[in-house]
């Protein structure tokens, strides 16, 4: 694989090692990915960090780490999404309610429903976002 191909399928953020974001088969060591996010300066400075793990034609998966009390500002996705806590606890704010989530739970949110995430404990989560070309 030449450099142009690596750039086309890799993510370049700060000093991170480029790696594939798409392909027929990808595996992830989530504890290792979380440890790397916690080791980066942005975590120490801002109490949050994230990394896209997967960018497929119709799906994105983002690993997010949040320190207790930190927020993911309100978003509104154009496609359905799911929030899967791996560790810790959080509140997900949607217009009609606040949902408490902990590890081993899964919350789905329909497209165009605004949501925000508040860490009630240090937490790690996967954000699964549907994606379309529209």
Instruction: Evaluate whether 107 touches 92 at the Cβ level (below 8 Å).
Output: yes
**C-alpha gyration radius of the chain:** 15
pTM: 0.85
In a domain, 104, yes or no: yes
Look at residue 82 and tell me if it is in a domain: yes
What CATH number is associated with residue 100?
Answer: 2.60.120.10
Sign of dihedral through CA atoms 63, 39, 66, 7? negative
Give the chain's mean pLDDT: 87
Mind listing the pLDDT tens digit for each residue in 112-132? 999 999 999 999 999 999 988
In a domain, 56, yes or no: yes
Residue 39, domain member (yes or no): no
Query: What pLDDT sits at residue 18?
Result: 80
The tens digit of pLDDT for each residue in 7-52 reads 344 444 446 778 888 888 899 999 999 999 999 999 999 999 999 9
- Nearest one of 82, 133, 80, 132 to 111, comparing CA atoms: 80
Is the confidence at residue 5, as pLDDT, over 80?
no
Domain count, the chain: 1
Q: Which domain holds residue 78?
A: 47-134
Assess if residue 42 is contained within a domain.
Answer: no
């Amino acid at each position: 694989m030449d450099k142009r191909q690596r750039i086309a399928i890799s993510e370049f953020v700060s000093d991170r090692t480029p790696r594939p974001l798409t392909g027929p088969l990808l595996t992830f060591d989530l504890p290792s990915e979380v440890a790397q996010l916690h080791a980066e300066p942005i975590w120490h400075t801002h109490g949050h960090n994230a990394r896209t793990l997967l960018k497929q034609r119709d799906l994105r998966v983002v690993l997010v780490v949040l320190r207790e009390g930190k927020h993911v500002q309100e978003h509104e996705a154009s496609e359905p999404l799911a929030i899967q806590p791996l560790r810790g606890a959080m509140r997900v704010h949607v217009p009609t309610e606040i949902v408490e989530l902990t590890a081993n739970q899964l919350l789905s949110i329909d497209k165009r429903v605004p949501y925000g995430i508040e860490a009630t404990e240090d937490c790690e989560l996967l954000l699964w976002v549907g994606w379309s070309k529209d």
